[in-house]
Amino acid sequence: MNIDQEMHAKFGKLNGWGAWRQDWGSPNPLSVLSRVKDRYRPYARLQHNHHNIFDHCTVYYKHRKCAVLISQPYPPGNDPVQRQKRDIDAVTFGESCGVQVFTPPLINAGWWYPGWADFFVFIHAADLDGPIKWLPEQVDVELLEQLKGRWKIEQEARHAKRKERAR
């Protein structure tokens, strides 16, 4: 099991959500959630590129229905103003689809690219059983740094395997 799979499983279990699956694109990533209103609302109206909000998406199930979507987009550069606009866009768009948007204490604690990828949770209030529980790596800077180190080693090993196969 790689870090991505491990963290997905831990996050889902911590929050009482069932199986998860990657979602690599749809007219509106939120349309996969069972309680979303206006499920085919195009996100083309977003002020910024939709990949600033929806990238590396994963859906979790609850009671055999898609209940939660997480997104781990890269930040829009190092400009804090652009990041704030993107965060506001995410919340506004989520609310327009009838879902709430949550971020961990460390916004850049996505495990797709720890320390760089941001982390959003989109969930309908009816599927929320209490506050979102965050993994220790999403709350503690030292643990996030450890995750970054593990991730870097895993990526280097992957690249070495690819090079070996290419020979």
What pLDDT score does 12 carry? 92
The rounded distance, in Å, linking the Cα atoms of 78 and 92 is 22
- Average pLDDT along the chain: 81
- Classify 143 as helix, strand or coil: helix
- Please state the domain count of the chain: 1
> What range defines the domain where residue 86 resides?
3-166
At 39, the pLDDT band (50, 70, 90 cuts) reads very low
Closest CA to 97 of 39, 55, 27, 51: 39
First to last CA, the chain: 26
What pLDDT score does 27 carry? 46
Task: Tell me the DSSP string of 71-112.
Answer: E-PPPSTT-HHHHHHHHHHHHHHHHHTT-EEE--SSTT--SS
pLDDT digits over 10-26, tens only? 999 999 988 676 655 55
Phi/psi region, residue 130 (left: phi>0; alpha: psi -120 to 50; beta: rest), is left
Burial class (CB in 10 A: 0-12, 13-18, 19+), 139: middle
pLDDT digits over 103-133, tens only? 999 988 988 888 888 899 998 888 888 899 9
